[in-house]
Amino acid sequence: MTASRGTTSAATTAGSPAAANATTTTSQGPGPVTISAVGDTDLGNTPDLPPDPSTYLQPVESALAAPIVFGNLEGTLTNATTSKCAAGSTECYAFRNPPSYAQIYRAAGFTVMNSANNHSHDFGAQGVADTTAALTSAGIVQAGLPGEIGLVTVGKTKVAFVDFAPYANVNNLLDFATAKTLIAQAKAEANIVVVYMHAGAEGAAADHVTGQEEYYVGEDRGNAKAFAHAAIDDGANMVIASGPHVLRGMEDYEGHLIAYSLGNFAGYQNFSTDGTLDLGGILTVTLSGEGTFESGKFTSTTFSSVGQPSVDPSGAAASFVNQLSNQDFGAAAVTILPSGQLVLPAAG
């Protein structure tokens, strides 16, 4: 399949893993599409890798299942050895997994992975090239590198992923004008536009959406609320996010869902698991062929001490997100019911 310059694309066909739960429709136009999305994902850091990586994500695979499954790849897929970190540094983190791990992600259901974050260039240009090659070989669409839009087709419906982070070496979240242009391009190429943002400060104390510019280790990490609202105003149908390494609330903005942080999804000694940092979630949303919200579900997850995810029947993550949503957004808060179903205020 060919794709326009700056765009990666893949078709989902009947019988493929990504199409296992696709909606069947007899209409001639675009039909509804279900998307599952998770936050920061990495499976260790070479040479410290899971003892059985091929089964590491099995506890959450059934909860992930959807025609489109999106995750933030918080690192690289490369065997390169020269990283951004100075020799002996204890405050610099550079993450890499073997390129073969792209197949593990694909086997778990992932069809789209984000590279707009602060770890996509951990191993320089070689690491970026190796990661792109590995994802492409596994049949996973990449999004987030400069000018890059990820396109996925399910039936007659085209979905574009436009991903941003506050860095010049990816689609830059701090450049609202360029973001507007990219979203317009995506809207011209697809029926549905999903924007991802890697935004905000980090850590347990960064669980609230401030509505102001946020900083971490001296870096401007953007104003998540202002950017998300602008993305919807510019034509995005939904905004999803991670980056703070902790869950954040969900907001209904003009009838569109904004999930301000899905937290950490999976790691192997990559991320802290103390307190609320061990809570994550799988967001599953069905959008109409025109991009309007039809239904959604939030599945609470939790981590083992080394960062392996599992579904949490207690729903602790959902309760935490509800608390944050109510505190930060009031009447615009999205509610997660005990069943996990999402209720937008306008639909409630």
Assign 4 a pLDDT band (cuts: 50, 70, 90): very low
* pLDDT value at residue 320: 98
Q: Which whole number is the average pLDDT over 225-231?
A: 98
* SS (HEC) of 16-35: CHHHCCCCCCCCCCCCCEEE
Q: Which whole number is the average pLDDT over 127-141?
A: 98
Phi, psi of 135 (to 5 degrees): -65, -45
Burial class (CB in 10 A: 0-12, 13-18, 19+), 346: exposed
* pLDDT value at residue 28: 77
Whether the pLDDT of residue 23 is over 50: the answer is no
Q: Which whole number is the average pLDDT over 106-117?
A: 98
Q: Which whole number is the average pLDDT over 291-312?
A: 96
The CATH-assigned architecture of domain 7-347 is: 4-Layer Sandwich (3.60)
Whether the pLDDT of residue 277 is over 60: the answer is yes
Q: Cα–Cα distance between 167 and 216 in angstroms, integer?
A: 13
Whether the pLDDT of residue 246 is over 50: the answer is yes
* pLDDT value at residue 102: 98
Query: With left for phi above 0 and alpha for psi between -120 and 50, is residue 109 left, alpha or beta?
Result: left
Lowest-pLDDT range of 25-29, 61-65, 104-108, 198-202: 25-29
Whether the pLDDT of residue 7 is over 70: the answer is no
For 156-201, write each residue's pLDDT tens digit.
999 999 999 999 999 999 999 999 999 999 999 999 999 999 999 9
* pLDDT value at residue 10: 54
Percent of the chain at pLDDT > 90 equals 86
Whether the pLDDT of residue 11 is over 80: the answer is no
Q: Cα–Cα distance between 98 and 95 in angstroms, integer?
A: 10
Q: Which whole number is the average pLDDT over 114-125?
A: 96
Q: Which whole number is the average pLDDT over 123-151?
A: 98
